[in-house]
A and B are shown apart, each in its own frame.
Chain A
Amino acid sequence: MTITDQQTALGAAQLPQVHGARNPGMALDMDWVLSARANRSAIERRAATLPGRRSVKKDHQAAWMARAISCIDLTTLAGDDTAGRVARLCAKARQPVRADLLEVLGLPDLTVGAVCVYHDMIAPAVKALDGSGIPVAAVSTGFPAGLSPMHLRIAEIEESVKAGAEEIDIVISRRKVLTGDWQGLYDEMKAFRAACGEAHVKAILATGELGTLQNVARASLVCMMAGADFIKTSTGKESVNATLPVSLVMMRAIREYHLRTGVRVGYKPAGGISKAKDAVLYLSLVKEELGDRWLRPDLFRFGASSLLGDIERQLEHHVTGAYSASWRHASA
């Protein structure tokens, strides 16, 4: 049983979740890559009007926020992380919301999607999550800049998989995108994917450093062709992280890849999503552009550290009718 299957099994207590085949990748199709277009102005207009077009209220809002929690990669990527700090985060991953609130919502088994850490924190995280079915994701390949020697980046993946990471978040070489070295990007991604073995691989495009939305579209396609299971916006360390226009471009690339190959690739916006309202907006964008099937943790994740806190307060407001305070909810 793969990690994601385990997670599906866990989810099965709450929902019938189907997990499709992994993305096997395909040969690099340069005609397709170069034909990708992204009209920034039109994309921004679509993104700007979406909040006005879709609105989720009351019980639906609560359910959607719970769904957002189930899709969070609860993340700590700090230089001062310790085993103790990671253990606290993992405890929060297991019990993301106060039990009494989850009881009212009828979702007592709700957990986050995964815990995301640096390599050295994998072991404490795996230990802390033992038996929960929650996978550990590790950022890798010289995160966040991805400028360490290639063989070390490959070795880092292998080490992390060995240490028990079941999802690997790799960073691509932005310079390959910026110089149009699509073959190089493809080869690199393919090597990362191979190094991951059974572990799922999320390709971080660092969209804030790719210059244009057209580059985002092309990099998305190349990474999917090279076998990425997920494509992810950002490391959280760039000055611009996940945005709705970038998300729209990446989701449309995913949709087209599915249309042409039949394979579903997941999407992970990361960085800057800290409000429940924003999370619901992202979910509605996924629903509109990709469809309901993508509204599951096997195909959608939020890379976020502070989002959960806001959702907890909103859920308590939903249950009690009164606005909540952060200190009423357990910290990580």
Chain B
Amino acid sequence: MSVKEIFETMSYGPAPEQAGDALAWIVDRGARFGHFIDGAFTEPGEGFESRNPATGEVLATLTQATSSDVAAAVDAARLAQPEWEALGGKGRARYLYALARLLQKHARLFAVLETLDNGKPIREARDIDVPLAQRHFYYHAGLAQLMEQELPGRAALGVCGQVIPWNFPLLMLAWKVAPALAMGNTVVLKPAEWTSLTALCFADICQQAGLPKGVLNIVTGDGAVGEMVVNAEVDKVAFTGSTEVGRKIREATAGRGIALSLELGGKSPFIVFEDADIDSAIEGVVDAIWFNGGQVCCAGSRLLVQEGIAEDFHTRLKARMATLRVGDPLDKCIDVGAIVDPAQKARIAALVDASGGEVFRAGDAPEGCFYPPTLISGLSPADPLMQEEVFGPVLVSTTFRTPAEAVQLANNTRYGLAASVWSENINTALDVAPKLVSGIVWINGSNMMDAAAGFGGVRESGWGREGGWEGARSYTRLVDDLPALTPVEGFAGEKVEPVAVDRTAKMYIGGKQARPDGGYAKAVYGADGSLIGQAPIANRKDIRNAVEAARGAAGWAGATAHNRAQVLYYLGENLSARADGFAALIDRMTGETGGRAEVEAAVDRLFTYAAWCDKFEGAVKPVPGRVVAMALNEPCGVIGALCPDEAPLLGLVSVMAPIIAMGNRAVLVASEPFPMAALEFIQVLETSDVPGGVVNILTGSHAELAKPLATHMDLECVWSFSSTDLAAEIERGAAGVVKRTWVDGLARDWLTAQGEGRVFLDAATEVKTVWVPYGA
């Protein structure tokens, strides 16, 4: 076309980014790569081809790691770890800073390599992925610098096994590696087999930065290698990827006593109220679902539009879709690049082809591994595509009538990663944001991310946060090593002393005393062999009833912090009034003399968490740009807990108080050998204005009740402090709905600070980051 013709058509024409330097980087390394272990690249071995999805051309041959490769990597990391940690935060900060600088110096190389390998538009790799990866290393250089001062009493976990996905290869590496290294851990990383090149390029700059050998090790290969990393002798597994694989990892790590974080799938809602800036909301949709071709875990893939504007919104959205440019990802003028692999394209196509609804596309995609931006409207919540994650450029839409209905539709999902809310009314936006079940909420925005702000989800989107102090903390442990719990047994006996009036101890469900569903009770004897009473034996139906009652007491989360504090203080007051009775009961059950001290500590603990109610503050994160990013500590929901066996009253109170202080509801299974104090405590609950269902108390066998608790789909978290070793059972059971668990098997001295504080409050809350950009 001549200049004169273009003057007429005003077409864009090609604007290709040159791939020469990136291809030269590959060729200079023989286009064959081994692993990066102990500071050096291994000889390339048997492996697989890595292709450019946009052209199908082979970029390089990579090596499939063997079990001995993975073992060598883990050994190298293990060997390097003590020295790396001993370097101190300030010493490590220098290296992280150097990595950030090197990423910046080689920014274009990383961007082009990423686009070649993954198929994402060069604009995104250049303007988003690479700058954000740099930002993570800068930010975490800072966290390393401040670690000793700001995280006293915390130490590195050790060796971290990290498995990352193909959608943001370098960025996910940065999200995982930077915090791990900052906190003094060493790493074995497995990039996705489709997209390993930028990780290998990163290994290159680690060498340039002089990073000590073994601190970062990279092994390449498919899911089998991922399994090897997960099953290796590591202290933490961090995974980002599909919910399906995340579930398997949860099962595989169950009972191993290692840390785990899972950042999984999503089906994030994009909610548009009638008072939104519609044209801006439509650009928001573009950034939500057509960013990286929708291959984004937090993609706003479910469009919910208020009915009154739905028709207009869809008309304008369709017009906008017509100006999206799909094609060569290396072209600077392209909005939607290639799908990462033909297999993924086939998966997207199969899901869409099976769906109902009105399918709209503004045009065809080019030949090859491309998929056109697609809008499917007229679906209802029951349609599979409203529920299933597509992980492609496919947006589904439906309508709502009221803010309440928007919230209800938004939360009608197994996932809970992110949500977008569009309204010009601050009242609407800030009312809806806390009600959305998700780890991230963007108000009048989408896909905003930063190293200072936590990123992560709830429900089947996984748990744990990446970014911010909260993310870094999950790469640490408490320094003081607590001993492992040992089983605590109750006493047997035969001695029966007549009582004036027979007492029937009942359990406590939904604010009412309840007989056990099974109709069985167990005789509880004191240390002297005398019968203290009969404790009900709860079964799974009692768990069901208790969870239902707790679910129904949702109003507790909405009670003010001051109000919750008043209830906790009142509990302390009423317990104190009965101190003598509890002390005697405890001493009789345990055969010891610590009853008085335990009751006093329990009163204290209630006061402590009453104090905490309105003081466990969130934060405003200093993210770049004109935006307030609020980190809110939200209650998890309903938490089920097997209470400590060894401290019949104090253990129960130490578990219950943080749970309800933060607005959760509790389903508590009392100390198994010494259940009578918990049953007696019901009377304290009844007299202290605790709303029905907020605290539910059951007695029975921990081993029996662990499974129904772990597998119950309407429980957000399960904790176990039982002296029965149930970690494997609970963690495996929790894999089904990817439930958050806390089972560390450690023996705490409940009378001391070991039994309270921020660790408990962190476990009782989820950080939700609400992004509020502003401007008059």
Q: List residues of chain A with CB under 8 Å of any chain B CB.
A: 14-16, 37-46, 49, 52-60, 62-64, 66-67, 105-107, 211-212, 252, 283-284, 287-288, 292, 295
Contacts and interface: CB of A to CB of B under 8 A. Distances in A.
Main secondary structure of the interface of B (DSSP, over half): loop
10 contacts: A39-B277, A39-B444, A40-B776, A43-B277, A59-B1, A60-B6, A62-B6, A63-B5, A67-B10, A284-B12
A306 to B, nearest CB: 23
A259 to B, nearest CB: 8
Given A39-B444, A252-B279, A55 B3 contact: no
A129 to B, nearest CB: 22
B727 to A, nearest CB: 46
B444 A63 contact: no
Given A52-B127, A67-B10, A46 B283 contact: yes
Nearest to A295: B10
B332 interface: yes
B226 interface: no
B757 interface: no
Given A37-B275, A40-B775, A58-B13, A63 B6 contact: yes
B10 A42 contact: no
Contacts of B284: 42
A42 B335 contact: no
Contacts of B277: 37-39, 42-43
Nearest to A59: B3
A257 B12 CA distance: 26
A287 B333 CA distance: 13
Nearest to B773: A41
A169 to B, nearest CB: 25
B10 A283 contact: yes
A37 B335 CA distance: 26
A37 B283 contact: no
Contact of A63 (B3, B14, B445, B775): B3
A255 to B, nearest CB: 8
Contacts of B68: none
A37 B424 contact: yes
B13 A107 contact: no
A41 B4 contact: no
A16 B277 CA distance: 36
B280 A46 contact: yes
A42 B773 contact: yes
B13 A56 contact: yes
Contacts of B9: 292
A145 B452 CA distance: 46
Interface residues of B, number: 40
Contacts of B627: 41
A57 B13 contact: yes
A56 B333 CA distance: 8
B429 to A, nearest CB: 11
A66 B3 contact: yes
A106 B774 contact: no
Given A41-B444, A57-B15, A62-B6, 7 more contacts: A37-B280, A42-B444, A54-B12, A60-B13, A63-B10, A252-B279, A292-B10
B126 interface: yes
B626 interface: yes
Contacts of A287: 10
B359 interface: no
Nearest to A40: B775
Interface string B424-445: 1000000000000000000011
B276 interface: yes
B11 interface: yes
Contacts of A39: 276-277, 280, 424, 444, 775
Contacts of B323: 288
B60 interface: no
A141 to B, nearest CB: 28
A14 B776 CA distance: 44
A37 B278 contact: yes
Contacts of A107: 3-4, 7
A15 B333 contact: no
B2 A52 contact: no
A295 B6 CA distance: 12
A93 to B, nearest CB: 18
Nearest to A37: B277
A252 B627 CA distance: 24
B333 A53 contact: yes
A41 B445 contact: yes
A274 B284 CA distance: 31
B123 A53 contact: yes
A64 B10 contact: yes
A63 B126 CA distance: 27
Given A63-B10, A67-B10, A287-B10, A42 B4 contact: no
A203 B245 CA distance: 60
Contact of A14 (B7, B14, B279): B7
B367 interface: no
A292 B10 CA distance: 7
A14 B12 CA distance: 19
Contacts of B276: 37, 39
A62 B15 CA distance: 13
B283 A63 contact: no
Interface in B226-278: 275-278
A279 B74 CA distance: 56
Minimum-distance CB pairs A-B, first 4: A40-B775, A60-B13, A63-B6, A42-B280
B8 interface: yes
Contacts of A59: 1-3, 6, 13
Nearest to A294: B10
A217 B7 CA distance: 31
Q: Which residue among B1, B335, B776 has the maximum number of chain A CB atoms within 10 Å of its CB?
A: B776
A62 B9 CA distance: 13
Contacts of B445: 41-42, 45
B626 A67 contact: no
A247 to B, nearest CB: 13
A283 B9 CA distance: 13
A14 B4 contact: yes
A66 B284 CA distance: 33
Q: Which residue among A63, A64, A107, A212 has the maximum number of chain B CB atoms within 10 Å of its CB?
A: A63
B123 to A, nearest CB: 5
Nearest to B9: A292
Contacts of B3: 59, 62-63, 66, 105-107
Contacts of B13: 56-60
Contacts of B444: 39, 41-42
A42 B127 CA distance: 17
A11 B127 CA distance: 39
Interface in B330-344: 332-333, 335
Contacts of A43: 277, 280
Contacts of A57: 13-15
Contacts of A212: 776
A254 B166 CA distance: 42
A73 B125 CA distance: 39
Contact of A54 (B279, B333, B775): B333
